[in-house]
Amino acid sequence: MLRWTIIFLIIAIIAGIFGFFGIAAGAASIAKILFFIFIVLFLLSFIGGRRSSSSDL
């Protein structure tokens, strides 16, 4: 998912350079949403992984 975030961020930068500001804004907002989803899933995975390994002890 982080890979898709980087792809949309690059699309937003390239569209902004060429003057397609509507496309750049859309791609940047998609990249931002995907980034926050990635962070939430990462934190849930990290916390969930911690709980399961400590219960095995």
Model pLDDT, residue 56: 55
pTM: 0.67
Model pLDDT, residue 54: 55
- Comparing 2 with 41, the larger pLDDT belongs to 41
Q: Give per-residue pLDDT as tens, 8-38.
A: 889 889 988 888 888 889 998 988 999 899 9
- DSSP collapsed to 3 states, 1-57: CHHHHHHHHHHHHHHHHCCCHHHHHHHHHHHHHHHHHHHHHHHHHHHHHHHHHHHCC
Token representation of residue 45:
């995975």
Model pLDDT, residue 39: 92
Q: Is residue 57 predicted with pLDDT exceeding 80?
A: no
